[in-house]
Amino acid sequence: MEDNISELVKKGSELIVEGDFEKALSYFEQAIILKPNDPDLLNKKRSRSARPWKI
């Protein structure tokens, strides 16, 4: 299960770099479903769910 969570977080992080915030958020949410009380996962979701402003 930890491997699955790590893969979901890795993919979500890659999508953030690519600018696909909606899809990235879905990967973080899937990881949280597998481990709902993990503060690190909750923080990742929270910090990634705020979109940067486009200039």
Question: What are the residue boundaries of the structural domains of the chain, listed by start?
Answer: 2-49
Q: Which of 51, 53, 48, 55 minimizes the C-alpha distance to 14?
A: 48
pLDDT of residue 27: 93
Kindly list the distances between the CA atom of residue 6 and the CA atoms of 33, 46, 50, 51, 55, in Å, as whole numbers in the listed order. 13, 17, 21, 22, 32
pLDDT at 28 over 50: yes
pTM surpassing 0.85?
no
Which pLDDT band holds residue 4 (cuts at 50, 70, 90)? very high
